[in-house]
Structures are given as structure tokens and as C-alpha cells.
Amino acid sequence: MQTLQKLTLPSMGCGTWAWGNQLLWGYHESMDHQLQAVFNLCVSNGVTLFDTGDSYGTGRLNGRSELLLGRFSQEYVGLGKENICIATKIAAYPWRWTRKSMVEACKSSAQRLGRNVDLVQMHWSTANYAPWQEGGLLDGLADLYEQRLVKGVGLSNYGPKRLKQVQKKFAERGVPISTLQVQYSLLSTYPVTQLKLKDLCDELGIKLIAYSPLALGLLTGKYSEQGPLPKGIRGLLFRQILPGMRSLLACLQEVAHSRNKTMSQVAINWCICKGTIPIPGAKSVEQARENIGALGWQLNASEIAELDRAAANADKKMVQNIFQTK
């Protein structure tokens, strides 16, 4: 466990993008009972960080993920309750551009959660398309920390150049950046290998959170070119990427077999070995149990090197988040 201010982060968290998302993940209210079981299993096994966002939950289900997390954390009784850490990402919607709008947004999240947000994060930078918008939002983020409405602040989808600028701006106000969240997996090494974000984060005392460590499910070994593939956007993406990652999947399978682990567990453990906090999602108890199986052991140096080589040689990589800045 590492304490950042009064923020305690475990070595792995749980992503809750699917909790309320019908479009990509086929969420339905009938899943809530199962999701509560996922939450309970995670917390009782030391997976106490839950990552959400105020934009999670589509249409009439707006804010659904936060509402569920609030309910589950209140109803949970058992080991690890005091360590539950809810991290929410505030969306940089076009109509949000003042510092006050950021504070209000976080207060709305707290209302849905029925408790304060532990770690508030800027969901993405507007530097790529509306640089004028970002100043006010960042001021609001720092205000939340100063007003003690949160235990820590973090950023998401920021590159090294922007991260240095924000860190400098925050340091002048005595506000530390606790975390940076980026898309990182064996299929998306770009933030670390090319942008060198891990080195910079280490230098600045920031923890790197790896979202999509299983590349939307591509690294689980459950999907092959022969199909069947998931419906919709994921299926289209998988069809494009799977042919170029045969050698990576073969390598993952080999390591998993020799370790008596699943491919998912090896892919998540690789992220942990790289010094990041992976936040794989889980919609079922089986998935949560499998994710938890990535803890309590470590890949050795030669296995990591083998996986690194296979990752570097994959023809197709995951599509980078359009909001990821340099």
C-alpha cells in the first residue's frame, strides 16, 4: 500500500466503465445484483480502488456507475471497508469551462455516491481542440483539493508535455498530483515506451494507473479470428486487430500455461510488474475472480522480456484515445 496525502492505493483496482453502459457493454439493471457481488469480492480481496466517471452511464442511465458504487460501498460490511477508494473522472464537457463548474460537477458526483469523492481526476485534456477551456477546469480541480472536498487529484489521458505544465501550475498552489491514468497494456505500450510517462511520473512522485489493461478483452484469449466476436464497435475493432497479434497471443498463452495462470492474469500481472496500477473491469463474479488471480505472484525478468518483445512486434496496436495529449 502506498499513502499519497491521505490517499491509499492498492496494487490493482477495478474499472466500472461497463456499469451503466448499454452501448458498448450491454448493461441492464438486472445486472446490479451481480455487480454488487463483484464489488464485495473485490474489496474483501484488497482490490479497494474503484475507478468511475461522471460520464459513465449512457442516456437515461447518466451517472449510473457512481450511483451503484455509492450504494455498494454503503451496504458493504466486511474486511477492507475503510480502504475503499472511489476515484471519479470529471468530463471536460464543452459547457464546463469555469473553475466553479468543476467544483459543482464533483459535488454532484459526491451526491450520487452518497460520500465524498476520494480521488478526483480530469477525464481528459482539452489541449488538442479547445486549449482555452482547460485553465478554468484545472483551477477547479485544484480548488477541490484546497477545499478538502477530495483526498487527492489526478489526471487522465495527459502526455508528458502537458503533465509537466499542470504539475508546475499545481505545485505553485501546493497541490500534488497523485495519479495519472493512461491506456496501457501489452497492446498499448505507447504511453510508456514512446511518451516515457512512467519515468516522468516516477520523477514527479505520481502513480501511473493503467486503464484497459486487457485491451477491451483482446488479451483475454477468449476471442480469435475464427470468431465469434463481440457485437458492435468492439467486434469491428477486434476484426482489424486480431490478425496482427497472433504472436503476442501465442506468447501470452505460453507464459500462462507454464505459470498455470490464465492469459488475462498474465496480462494484468505484466502491468503490475511495470510499476502501474491496472484497473481491469469486471461485470461478473467470474471475471472479478479471474482479475484477482493476477495478484500475489510476479512474472520473472525473462518472462517480462519475452512479453515485451512480442508486444513490440505486434503488427496492429490498440487505437489510442483521441484525447491523449503529447
69, three cell numbers: 458504487
- Looking at residue 196, what DSSP letter applies? -
The residues pairing with 50 across neighbouring beta strands, listed in sequence order, are: 14, 86
φ/ψ region of 163 (left if φ > 0, alpha if ψ in -120 to 50, else beta) reads alpha
Strands 2-4 and 7-9: what pairing?
antiparallel
Query: Cell 489493461 sits at which residue?
Result: 213
Count the alpha carbons within 13 Å of 1 in the hemisphere toward its beta carbon.
13
Q: Catalytic one among 56, 145, 184, 211?
A: 56
Q: What is the DSSP code string of 29-57?
A: GGGHHHHHHHHHHHHHTT--EEEEETT-S
Whether the CB-CB separation of 60 and 23 falls below 8 Å is answered with no
Q: How far is CA 31 from CA 13, 37, 54, 198, 285, in A?
A: 20, 10, 20, 36, 11
- Which of 262, 259, 268 lies closest to 295 in space, CA to CA? 268
Q: What is the dihedral of CA 71, 142, 49, 31, to 10 degrees?
A: 40
Q: Which residues contact 301 (CB under 8 A, 6 or more apart)?
A: none
Q: At residue 27, what are phi and psi to the nearest 5 degrees? A: -65, 145
Cis, bond preceding 228 (omega within 30 deg of 0) = yes
Return d(Cα 32, Cα 241) in angstroms, integer: 32
Residue 158: active-site member: no
Return d(Cα 186, Cα 22) in angstroms, integer: 27
**What are the residue numbers of the active site?**
56
